[in-house]
Amino acid sequence: MSEVLKMFIDGEWVEAGSGETREIINPANGDVIAVVTEGGEQDARKAIRAARKAFDEGEWPEMSAYDRANLLLKVADKLEERADEFARTDTLDNGKPLREAAFDAADAVACFRYYAGLATKPHGQTYDVADPMQAMVVREPVGVCGQITPWNYPLLMAVWKLAPALAAGNTVVFKPSEITPLSPIKLFEIFEEVGFPKGVCNLVLGPGPTAGNEIAGSHLVDKVAFTGGTETGRKIMQAATGNLKKISLELGGKSPNIVFADADFETAVDYALFAIYAGQGQVCSAGSRLLLEESIHDRFVERMVERAQKIKVGPGLEEGTEMGPLVSKEHMEKVLGYIQLGQEEGATLACGGKRMMHDGLNQGFFVEPTIFVDTRPDMRIVQEEIFGPVLVVQKFKDEQEAIRLANDTVYGLAGAVFTGDGAKAQRVIRKLRAGITWINTYHPTYNEAPWGGYKQSGIGRELGTYGFEEYTEVKQINVNLEVEPIGWFSE
């Protein structure tokens, strides 16, 4: 049996109190690639107590911003040295092509460096108020932060949460997805190596309903940050009401990619493919709804189908692979269920729709790049997040209908507009009820810019200065410059 990989709690690598373990599966072939300890409520409580003590009594809150930044820079350097190892680990664990995992590793390095720089920058304000007072605002760490991340970006989603929280001076209890914990385990090895104080960084493994729920509900946790599905986000929000802890939720999406007839045709086709099939469509901001102006609809769909059928699907480590497997058998079956549902609802399959079983792919969880046409706005495949390589195409007549259709879901995470008319692009993008938008491109994101959505796509923002501020409390300080009796009451 493989060595059991452990959790990191209070500066020690430990196994779950229950002794339970979980096998980690390579979704490209079904092989067991690791065995990890399977934590639960008891282990989460232990990690929370360690983080609480480290924040309330330890050296971390007194550490200067310069010293915190220096630790983050050391983490970035170590991560950069091992970038190839981290990329390979994410590919084995998640299934994504190695070229995508390599981008994630590089972005993670840049994220640590960005927040290391931000830690020492000015944070606060001063005000000119009526004499003899001086008023100011300072930002202080929230305290103990519970952080729960999904399986689609095992390394990068971890870093998006950990880097700003630590830069701001918080202690953390971090729980990755139970099915993709391998790169987070390696990241915590780096935290230990560079010398974070005991109890500052805690890694809890295990499923959401046990370990995750304990983190969300604990009164010793001051903030919970979650990325994942909207239904789970609701449960976390409810659990957080016990002590009214701060929350930030990055949830689902059903993002529109709007293409007008005056767009550069081949560019729009290229990005439409990238928008939905990057990451096998397992991306919260994926362009999963393609809105086409009527006059180009048939030609555009024909070209999309032609190119989608040429996408090289295979194991992420295989040379030339452009799209990998879905993350698990359970998730593959969910996606295939939506494809069946779409056909039952009356949509037409333009291509794809099946599990891929040829050329040695039968042991993995591969689904063909899929496109639905002849859809209606009320169809579940149009309204619900499928989270796989399934594109639904909608048709519009004019700018107003495009905007109406684009906003016609409960989600508001992302959206894009393709057009050669700059004024029209601005008009439409400003009408989209979405937090992340693009004009004549799709998917590029930056550590410097905020990430998050409108409506049921979440609360709060990650990345940029906005993401840093999510991990701070604002304190008003008023100083009397003339210390003498006020004389408000007669003697």
Active-site residues: which are they?
Answer: 250, 284
- CA 445/CA 414 separation, integer angstroms: 11
Measured between its terminal Cα atoms, the distance across the chain in Å is 83
Element (H, E) at 391: strand 390-396
CB of 205 closer than 8 Å to CB of 228 = no
Q: Walk across the sheet containing 472-480 and list its strands.
A: 124-127, 133-141, 472-480
Q: Which two tokens stand for residue 224?
A: 């919970």
Q: Which of 58, 17, 61 is nearest to 40 (CA)?
A: 17
Signed CA dihedral, 16, 22, 25, 31: sign only: positive
Q: Which of 491, 282, 465 is nearest to 388 (CA)?
A: 282
Give CA 193 to chain center in angstroms: 26
In order of 34, 67, 180, 185, 328, the CA distances from 37 in angstroms are 10, 33, 13, 11, 19
Residue located via tokens 């060595």: 3
Q: Which two tokens stand for residue 403?
A: 């905007």
Q: What's the half-sphere exposure (Cβ side, CA atoms, 13 Å) at 490? A: 0
Q: How many CB atoms lie within 10 A of CB 228?
A: 22
- CA 169/CA 171 separation, integer angstroms: 7
346, amino acid identity: G
Q: Which two tokens stand for residue 328?
A: 């698990």
Q: Which two tokens stand for residue 331?
A: 């998730």
Buried b (16+ CB within 10 A) or exposed e, 7-35: bbbbbeebbbeeeebbebbbbbbeeeebe
In order of 58, 222, 329, 423, 449, the CA distances from 102 in angstroms are 36, 34, 24, 37, 21
Alpha helices in 5-82 (DSSP H): 41-56, 65-81
Q: How many CB atoms lie within 10 A of CB 292?
A: 27
Signed CA dihedral, 260, 263, 269, 275: sign only: negative
Q: Which of 42, 434, 442 is nearest to 276 (CA)?
A: 442
